[in-house]
Each structure stands twice: as C-alpha cells, then as structure tokens.
Structure 1
Amino acid sequence: MALDLSPLPQSIRLKAEELSRDIEFFNIIDKGANGYVLIGHNNLLNRNVVVKFYFWGGGDHAEPALLANLDSEHILKVHHAESINKDDAFFMTPYCASGDLDDALVKHKFGTVEAIDVLSQIAAGASFLHGNGYLHRDLKPSNIFCLSDDRFVIGDFGSVVVQNDEGYAKTSTRHSLLYRPPEELDQKCFYRQGDIYQLGMVFYQVLGGYLPYHERDWLTDKEKKKYDGLAGWDQQGFATSIIGSRIARSRILDYSTLPGWTPTALMTIIRKCCAKALGDRYSSVADLAAKLNNVRSKIPEWRIGEYPVLHRAKKRFRIVPHKGDFAIEKVRWRPVEEGACLFAGNSF
C-alpha cells in the first residue's frame, strides 16, 4: 500500500510523488525538526534510502546539488540533492538501519577510549566539511549515524552553509537551539568554532553527561509554574528564552553528571570545545583531533558493562556494590587463550 503523502506541503508533496516513480516510500518520521523525512526503497539503487525535505531559503544554505559531491568515509553518502524552489530542497542518503548516536546512547554506555574513538570519527567528518568550505551547524547525536557498532558518520545536511574566507557564515535560518553556540544568538554568525562547540557537547553526552531534550526540564520549579500556565507559542517562547539565557552564560553542560571515573583530561577537552569565547576554543577541528589522539594512550580505559571495569595491561579493576556501599575488585588478567580470570577476589 502506497504511503499517504497528503500531509506534506504541496510543493514537497509533488516532488515526493515524482520521486515515488523510483522509490516506494513506506514511512514518514518526525524525529528531530527542520523538515520532513521519508523512508523508502529505491528500486534503482536496490536499497532503502532516506529523503529529507528541508527549508533551503536560497541564501544561507549550501547549494543542494553540491552536497552530492561530498565523498568521505566519515560523511554519510548523499546519493542525490536538488532544490525544489526558492524555499525548499531535498537530499537522499542511505537508510541506516542501526539508527543514530542517540539510539546508540540508549543501548550502550561508552567507555572512555570508546568515546574518544567515536568523537575522533565525527571530528574527521567535520574537518572534511571545513576543508571543503562548509560548516555543518547542527552536529548532535541524532545527526550522527551508525554504520556499525563502532563506526559513525555525519549525516543530515539540512543546516550546512558555505563559510567565507574568514571561516564563518552569516546566518538567518535556525537549527537546534540546544546546540547553538553563544555567539550565534547575538551575532547571527556561525564560525568553524561553532562546529567545535557542538563536538564538545556530543563528547559530553557520549561520555555519559546528562543533557535533557525536553524544554521543560531546563526550568526551575518557579519557571515551570509559569510555563505550565502558558500555551502554544507563548509556552515555547518562554522556554526558548530561558534556554537561550543559559547558552549565553555558558551554563548548558552540568559536568557533575559525568561518571566519576571520567578523566580530568577529557573534561578539559570538553570545556575548551565549549568555551564561551571563540578564541578560547580549539582553533580548528584538526587541533581537537590531535589532542584526542595524544590523550588516548594516556587515560585510564574504563569499559562500561554490568559494572564499570578499568582495563590495564595485566590487571582488571571493577566497581561493584558491597554491603550498602561500593568496593573495588582486582584480579590479574590472563588472555582468553590462557584461561582468563573472572572477577573473584580482593575487594578493598
């Protein structure tokens, strides 16, 4: 049975109907914002694809057709992209059955080295975009897709803009408020360091930091009472002003929610990425990537399973509940082929 496309705006619906000659659409998803997302089977490519329709505006955003030229192992392949009219455009990418990084964060707790490896992949994608003259502007877990359990790529190009020679772009269109860097709120400009700011926020989340997605969760009890007394756009506008104020004051990330085993070196990286002032952040994604590479071999390697486990060359330590408190268990570790020890002893 053909998917009902009637809820779509007319210009988008007509293009979707045209694409239906080759694509059997079977779902419309509303995760995220900034457009309409359709999933279907492309009979020409013989694979499932995602088609995202988004507001282009003919000004702020990168020319849609240019997106199809992006070719990097760290960027989700764009099969096709084009403008529909002066306002709307679309792009087509492979469907990622494994979902996005938000889905992965629900299913899996990332260890310290795992988190570095995830961010390094995303940073490589951002560096590729910057090197080709683009700024992503909307780096967040729902725009980072899983190709496998340990491979992640940047997708969703609905907010991509072309940077000028000074490394920024004048912007009037909006993207996710929560990840918007402070300078964009008042300058209406997005800089390379804005993508670095967002990379820091993603790193914070992958390491286990708490970042609520519902706008009401950002309010104090007093603010919630006022919020609950409003409706519609008034309610959203009130919450937006509160969140915007927190962004402007660099009060978005609560570092106390990171796991206790998070190394100081990694928190320092997040703080530098998300510094309020542009000049206090890494000057380029390459600088960030180099820092991640340098610190990787020096930090404790925590892996998170049933219990947090610290991996050393010949030892393992794990934190376990013990008599109403916690204890650390230590064993000498032998490779599996030698008969690996289970955690059996020495709580202290």
Structure 2
Amino acid sequence: MRDNAVNPIIRDFIRTQNDIEIDRYSDKGGFGELYFGKRKIFDDRVALKFYVLDENGDGHEEPILLKEITHENILPLIDARIIDDRIAFYLTPEISGGDLQNIIDNYTLSTDKSISIIQGVLKGLTELHKPPLNLVHRDLKTYNILIDKNDGKSYLADFGTIKKIPEGQDYVSASKYTFLYRPPEVILENRYTKQSDIYQMGVILYQTLGGHFPMKKPDEWLIGRKLLKFQQLQPFEQQTYLANHLEELIVKGKLINLDTLPIYISKKLKTIIRTATNPDIGKRYTTCADFLKALFDYQKTSKDWWTDIDTIHAYNKKSKREYRIIKRKKELVTEWRNDKTDWRKDFSDNKLQKHIDNIEGK
C-alpha cells in the first residue's frame, strides 16, 4: 500500500485489526494518515483518518466537531477510537468520487455542475459560520471537498484547521498551510474571518469552472525582469522569491487570471468570482448566503456550458434546446436539437465568440 513512511503503530494496527478490509492508503489526509476499506459486517466503504494526540492525550477536536454538526454537505462521522496514548482515528464514509481536485483533473464539469458543487459546500459552510458555532474552516481547497460520483453531492471535509471565533471578535489567527488559497488579510494582518472562507471558496469556484494556476511550472507566474531574476537565483532562493511574488499578487488581487477560464464563462459569472475574491474585504460577499444568492440569480437565466474534446456544448434550460459549436470543413458551425433529435444548423462564422454570443442571446 506504499505506507512505509507511516508511523509503525498505525501500520501495525491496520494490519492486525479484523473489522475492516483495508485496501488503499493516501498521503492526502491533511494533518493525518488516511486509509480506505470495506467494513466486513456492514459491507460499506469507509475512510479511516489517523491523527496524533498531544502529551496530555488531547487533540480530538476534529471528530468531536463532526459529531456535533449534522448537515447534508458536511462529511458525517461514523466512529472514533484511540489506539495508543498518542494516536487515534475516526471513521467516515468513503465518498465515491474522491476529492474535487481528482474530479477537476479527470472529468469535464459543466458550468451548472461546477456551480452546484460550490453551492453545496457553501451550504455546509453556512452551518459552520452560524451562531453559536461561529466556526471558520481556514483551509478550504479542492482537496478538502469530496464529491459523490453517484449523485454529484459535495461534502465539506478535513476539519483539522477549524477554529471558533471568540465572542466579541470577528476573526481568529490564520492557518498558513495552503499558500495559494491565503486571503490578502492573512498575509497583511494574520487575520482570518468568515469572509476569508468566502475568499477561498471564490478561488475554488474559479478552479472548478476551468481557471488555471501554473502549478507544474512555477516560473509561469513570472514575466519580464522578475522571471530573469528568478532564473539567476539558486534553487533554495527561487522558492522564497516566488513565495514573495505570489504574496504580492494575492494582496493586489491579481493571483487569479480570469483570461484562463473557458471562453464561454460569462462576464456575470466572472463578476461573481471577482466579488468573492476581492482583496478588499469590504467589497467581498459578506456571508455565504450572499454568495449563494449571486450564484442562484445567475442560474435563473444562464445556459449550461461544457466542452467535449473539440466541441463546445450549451443547454438552454428554458427551451430545453441543446447547442453545439463544431468545426465543419473550414468553418465553425452552431447546431441545435431538441430531446436528442437530429442536429440542425443554426449559425456559421469563423469567430468563436460570435457563436457564444449567438447562443447566449437565445
């Protein structure tokens, strides 16, 4: 299972326990080791997340929190157990689609499906933010959102960084683990608020809709003199230089490049992303409910867009008419159909944006 680097106590427990047939290990468990398997009695798939306790045997905040919160978009807790003075684990259902990053990397998401995923997580986040809980997640990212492949439901997961906002205060200290999702106020003031969670959800919306971060080629973040200087540095210096540059982009609100989104992402949807990720917290959505309303209002009149290899598709929910933009010989053509009937030609032009505008005007 490639878990040789895991604490021997955990490995021994996994191999000697008899309740669960363990068949997979993942090193993406945030602050703990993560195993998957099937319970022998109930014949259902589960995930075991191990975590380390402090010297007093404390550190059960995450499973205790999951036990106290019941919401359809928050990962449910099945059980929690201590296996050693310093090690414990908790049990949750295994969500069939895995994390959102896996979905983004391996599947095509339509605009409606992308928005539905974000709406589900925002609803779960609303539950955390509500008094008397007043909790902030502090590490929202594509790896901490799970997707059920069967019904498409999204789940908020991994609560290792969660923190309660004290009474009479509107912020807590920040978690600094996932760099690209750090809101500007975290960099400038080490303050994390409920609107900081909203910022992170805005970044995730951008990614889910097809927005690109140059993760595999860090130097793509840099241009001109900055790139030249980066190339002249030693490897250990490059990392610090790039981190400082990314912080500068975050603070200025320039980390997200909306031009990397698919051509069919509308100005209205881009405005929603801009508002959620505005570096000025006063111009950001105040609550998850505000963010949800903006997405709901957008969907009232929007088309559902997606790509399939070299073809762009759109669906008009009102007329129940499907469109596709496809290349025929040397020209781009828009075709349409109702209820899987034969495709009919609607429009031809060699400029893709004209096809998008034509469909949006239907």
Q: Same fold (TM over 0.5)?
A: yes
Are positions 1:28 and 2:32 aligned together? no
Kept in 2, the 8 Å contact 1:263–1:300? The answer is no
In structure 2, do the counterparts of structure 1 residues 89 and 271 end up closer, same or farther at CA, with 3 Å as the change threshold? farther
Kept in 2, the 8 Å contact 1:61–1:159? The answer is no
In structure 2, do the counterparts of structure 1 residues 62 and 286 end up closer, same or farther at CA, with 3 Å as the change threshold? farther
Are positions 1:225 and 2:224 aligned together? no
Q: What TM-score do the two structures reach when normalised by structure 2?
A: 0.79
* Structure-2 separation of matches of 1:83 and 1:180: 33
* Structure-1 separation of matches of 2:256 and 2:85: 38
Q: 2:35 aligns with which of 31, 38, 61?
A: 38
* Structure-1 separation of matches of 2:87 and 2:181: 23
In structure 2, do the counterparts of structure 1 residues 169 and 264 end up closer, same or farther at CA, with 3 Å as the change threshold? same
In structure 2, do the counterparts of structure 1 residues 110 and 55 end up closer, same or farther at CA, with 3 Å as the change threshold? same
Q: CA offset at residue 24 of structure 1? A: 4.2
- How large is the Cα RMSD of the aligned pairs? 3.3
Q: 1 or 2 for the larger relative contact order (CA 8 Å, sep ≥6)?
A: 1
Tell me the residue number matched to 2:334.
329
* Structure-2 separation of matches of 1:98 and 1:17: 23
Secondary structure of the structure 1 residue equivalent to 2:326:
strand
* Structure-1 separation of matches of 2:321 and 2:288: 35
Q: CA offset at residue 291 of structure 1? A: 1.6
* Structure-2 separation of matches of 1:53 and 1:125: 23
Give the aligned residue type for 1:7. A
Give the aligned residue type for 1:252. L
Tell me the residue number matched to 1:124.
123
Secondary structure of the structure 1 residue equivalent to 2:68:
coil
Q: Structure 1: which 5+ runs fail to align?
A: none
Are positions 1:186 and 2:191 aligned together? no
Tell me the residue number matched to 2:74.
75
Q: Percent identity?
A: 26
**1:176-223 Cα shifts (integer Å, max 9, x gaps):** 111111111232221101110111111111211112334725542425
In structure 2, do the counterparts of structure 1 residues 41 and 102 end up closer, same or farther at CA, with 3 Å as the change threshold? same
Q: CA offset at residue 314 of structure 1? A: 5.8
* Structure-2 separation of matches of 1:87 and 1:256: 48
* Structure-1 separation of matches of 2:235 and 2:112: 45
Summarize the alignment of residues 81-120 of structure 1 with structure 2, pairs less than 5 Å apart.
81=80, 90-120=89-119
Summarize the alignment of residues 213-292 of structure 1 with structure 2, pairs less than 5 Å apart.
213-214=215-216, 216-220=218-222, 221-222=227-228, 224-226=230-232, 229-231=234-236, 236-292=239-295
* Structure-2 separation of matches of 1:334 and 1:230: 57
Kept in 2, the 8 Å contact 1:64–1:82? The answer is no
Q: CA offset at residue 92 of structure 1? A: 2.7
Q: CA offset at residue 283 of structure 1? A: 0.6
In structure 2, do the counterparts of structure 1 residues 107 and 26 end up closer, same or farther at CA, with 3 Å as the change threshold? closer
Q: 1:7 aligns with which of 5, 8, 15?
A: 5
* Structure-2 separation of matches of 1:328 and 1:205: 29
Kept in 2, the 8 Å contact 1:96–1:147? The answer is yes
**More off after superposition, 288-297 vs 34-43:** 34-43
* Structure-2 separation of matches of 1:188 and 1:22: 44
Tell me the residue number matched to 1:211.
213
Kept in 2, the 8 Å contact 1:65–1:82? The answer is no
**More off after superposition, 255-264 vs 101-110:** 101-110
* Structure-2 separation of matches of 1:182 and 1:62: 27
Kept in 1, the 8 Å contact 2:214–2:221? The answer is no
Kept in 1, the 8 Å contact 2:66–2:76? The answer is no
In structure 2, do the counterparts of structure 1 residues 136 and 219 end up closer, same or farther at CA, with 3 Å as the change threshold? same
Kept in 2, the 8 Å contact 1:61–1:162? The answer is no
Secondary structure of the structure 1 residue equivalent to 2:180:
helix
In structure 2, do the counterparts of structure 1 residues 43 and 223 end up closer, same or farther at CA, with 3 Å as the change threshold? farther
Give the aligned residue type for 1:327. L
* Structure-1 separation of matches of 2:194 and 2:59: 15
Kept in 2, the 8 Å contact 1:311–1:317? The answer is yes
Kept in 2, the 8 Å contact 1:34–1:175? The answer is no
**More off after superposition, 52-61 vs 104-113:** 52-61
**1:41-88 Cα shifts (integer Å, max 9, x gaps):** 344654332223357779999454222222111111122357889997
Secondary structure of the structure 1 residue equivalent to 2:314:
strand
Q: What TM-score do the two structures reach when normalised by structure 1?
A: 0.82
Q: CA offset at residue 127 of structure 1? A: 0.9
Q: 1:319 aligns with which of 311, 316, 325?
A: 325
Q: Structure 2: which 5+ runs fail to align?
A: 350-362
Summarize the alignment of residues 140-159 of structure 1 with structure 2, pairs less than 5 Å apart.
140-149=141-150, 150-159=152-161
* Structure-2 separation of matches of 1:124 and 1:264: 24
Kept in 2, the 8 Å contact 1:111–1:301? The answer is yes
* Structure-2 separation of matches of 1:86 and 1:183: 38
Give the aligned residue type for 2:119. S
